[in-house]
Amino acid sequence: MASVIMAPTFSSLSVGRNGRDWSKRSGANTQPRAMKVKAMRVEKPLEELYQVRVERKVSQERLAELGVSRWSMWKTGKCKLPWDWQVDQLVYIEEGEVRVVPEGSQQYMQFVAGDLVRYPKWLEADLWFNGPYQERYSFRAYGDD
């Protein structure tokens, strides 16, 4: 759910259309009229909204700790792939980039080589690859980190 921030906007100022300051005229009210409050939506990042966790520029120590070199490898070229995750999946991107467009969204998340991404179970999205792409992946049981 989006957060709402209340931002004030003036309903009227003492300056006319032609730029003349009417507050200096005798009898004019020198105080601005009451402020109206206008609601503005502040959207959460897609990663937070869809519970996708990402670590950028992962260190070699972290990769060794996770045993990434023993994970399965997957490669593709330029393509679009509809996908839904039946289990949590941890992915380390070795080459290329992917744009992840969650089902029903007009926005996308972008992940590049060096990113470690955890996709949650039941996420549905279109994956867009604009060139050569290679990843290592590991399916995770509930509670595994």
CATH class of segment(s) 46-139: mainly beta
- Residue ranges of domains in the chain: 46-139
How far is Cα 48 from Cα 85, in angstroms, rounded to an integer? 17
pLDDT per position as a tens digit, 102-124: 999 999 999 999 999 999 999 99
Mean of all residue pLDDT scores within the chain: 80
Q: What is the pTM of this model?
A: 0.68
For tokens 């009898």, the residue is 27
How far is Cα 79 from Cα 26, in angstroms, rounded to an integer? 71
Question: Quick one: tokens of 9?
Answer: 């906007």
Biggest alpha carbon–alpha carbon distance for the chain: 83
Decide if pLDDT at 19 tops 80. no
